């Protein structure tokens, strides 16, 4: 079935998920929507995040997608259950795949979660981890400054080390052996976070886990694309295209030739 897989995010960060999906499923057609006009979601209220997420879902449905991936951790935390209730096609978020992997990885049953304020305040990761294994202790920390740091491209700067040390020291003191990178942007800071947390802590990149989940869902539904021709990948944003294109390179590793601006969400 050659209908595209739809992926949405509050902005550019969901490209970390796109990258992993392309790596694992190179023949799938994709439609990406980044709600750049209304980013960030991580500091907004639950009602607003649900409203925006529903609108993004409707936009992707208009593109005839066969499944939807909510790449945004904040939307996944707060809006996924509600969105699922409204639509019939498979819709997955990033919380469950990341939580599952963390539960599998931890040996000392102490797991850390980092994300936006809205994600951490929602308790979504903690709830999912406890549902899978009630014996696991979860320690959470919001790291709101990581998002602008990544978008500024300050991945290896000394200031980033300072910020990471400040946010992560509490988690370090708890003796966690596994840390979920619960935000689209954080995989880009993997090296820095690993350096601060130490080698012994296993970092869970939810983007990788989500790609695995997408493959599982498509094969369960019998809708994996059998076509081997060049896949189509369309990128839509709700605000200025040039800014998105500039930053996209650091997320995807390559330039995006065409990005379309839409105003109907």
Angle, in degrees to the nearest 10, between helices 46-62 and 73-86:
60
Q: Where are the beta strands (DSSP E) in 35-153?
A: 67-70, 91-92, 110-115, 137-142
Q: How many residues bind ligand DGL (CB under 6 A)?
A: 18
**Given 5, 12, 68, 72, the catalytic residue:** 72
> In what helix (H) or strand (E) does residue 160 lie, and over which residues does it extend?
helix 158-173
Closest approach, Cβ 155 to ligand DGL, in A, equals 16
Q: Which of 184, 188, 190, 213 is nearest to 202 (CA)?
A: 190
Q: What is the DSSP letter of 187?
A: G
Is residue 143 among the annotated active site residues? no
**Residue 58 to residue 231: CA distance in whole angstroms:** 23
Closest-approach residue to ligand DGL (CB): 42
Closest approach, Cβ 219 to ligand DGL, in A, equals 26
**Under the criterion CB under 6 A, does residue 29 sit at the interface with ligand DGL?**
no
73-91 CB burial, b ≥16 within 10 A, e <16: bbbbbbbbeebbeeeebbb
Is residue 72 among the annotated active site residues? yes
Q: Which of 34, 40, 93, 98 binds ligand DGL (CB under 6 A)?
A: 40
Q: Which of 5, 8, 10, 36 binds ligand DGL (CB under 6 A)?
A: 10
Q: Which of 30, 72, 91, 168 binds ligand DGL (CB under 6 A)?
A: 72
Given a contact cutoff of 8 angstroms between Cβ atoms, the answer to whether 189 and 207 are in contact is: no
**Given 67, 68, 183, 223, the catalytic residue:** 183
* Interactions with ligand DGL, residue window 163-202 (CB under 6 A): 183-185
Q: Which of 7, 9, 28, 100 binds ligand DGL (CB under 6 A)?
A: 9
Q: How many other C-beta atoms can be found within 10 angstroms of the C-beta atom of residue 232? A: 11
**Under the criterion CB under 6 A, does residue 41 sit at the interface with ligand DGL?**
yes
**Under the criterion CB under 6 A, does residue 238 sit at the interface with ligand DGL?**
no
Which residues of this chain interact with ligand DGL, rule CB under 6 A? 9-11, 13, 39-42, 72-74, 115-116, 119, 147, 183-185
Task: Tell me the catalytic residues.
Answer: 72, 183
């Amino acid at each position: 079935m050659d209908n595209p897989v739809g992926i949405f995010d509050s902005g550019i960060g969901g490209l970390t998920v796109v990258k992993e999906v392309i790596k694992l499923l190179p023949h799938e057609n994709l439609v990406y929507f980044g709600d750049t006009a209304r980013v960030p979601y991580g500091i907004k209220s639950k009602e607003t995040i649900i409203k925006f997420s529903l609108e993004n879902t409707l936009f992707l449905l208009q593109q005839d997608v066969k499944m939807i991936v909510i790449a945004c951790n904040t939307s996944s935390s707060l809006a996924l259950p509600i969105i699922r209730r409204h639509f019939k096609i498979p819709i997955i978020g990033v919380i469950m795949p990341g939580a599952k992997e963390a539960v599998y990885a931890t040996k000392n049953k102490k797991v850390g979660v980092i994300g936006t304020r809205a994600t951490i305040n929602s308790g979504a990761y903690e709830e999912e981890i406890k549902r899978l294994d009630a014996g696991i202790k979860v320690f959470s920390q919001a790291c709101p400054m990581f998002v602008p740091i990544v978008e500024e491209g300050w991945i290896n700067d000394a200031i980033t080390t300072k910020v990471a040390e400040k946010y992560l020291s509490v988690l370090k003191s708890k003796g966690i052996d596994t840390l979920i990178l619960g935000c689209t942007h954080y995989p880009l800071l993997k090296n820095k976070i690993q350096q601060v947390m130490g080698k012994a802590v296993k970092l869970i990149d939810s983007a990788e886990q989500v790609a695995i989940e997408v493959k599982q869902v498509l094969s369960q539904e019998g809708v994996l694309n059998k076509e081997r021709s060049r896949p189509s990948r369309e990128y839509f944003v709700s605000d200025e295209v040039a800014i998105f294109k500039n930053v996209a390179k650091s997320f995807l590793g390559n330039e995006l030739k065409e990005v379309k601006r839409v105003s109907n969400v």
